[in-house]
Amino acid sequence: MQMNNKNLEIDNMTPEQHTQVIEFYNQSTNKQHAFFLQLITDKLSLWKKHKTFIKSYKIKHINLNGIYIDVHIKKD
């Protein structure tokens, strides 16, 4: 799947930075994507709002499953 700049918006990124990230993504393999996600797991957190309370999750580990990347989470 080719990624492009359409509908991607991160504050304080220049057009050149957007292009660099898109080129990295397009030129990388699924193994490289999984490895990159493993590198940044300490910077990712997942949130789920459920009725009146919010649950926080952390990434337990990331696994390459064929063409897909499995992200296993645990309750924070």
Per-residue pLDDT of 29-52, as tens digits, reads 999 999 999 998 888 777 777 776
Predicted local distance difference test score (pLDDT) of residue 2: 56
Q: What's this model's pTM, rounded to 2 decimal places?
A: 0.66
Residue type, 1: M
Residue 47: partners with Cβ closer than 8 Å, 6 or more residues away = 54, 55, 56, 57
Q: Does 68 score more than 90 pLDDT? A: no
Predicted local distance difference test score (pLDDT) of residue 27: 95
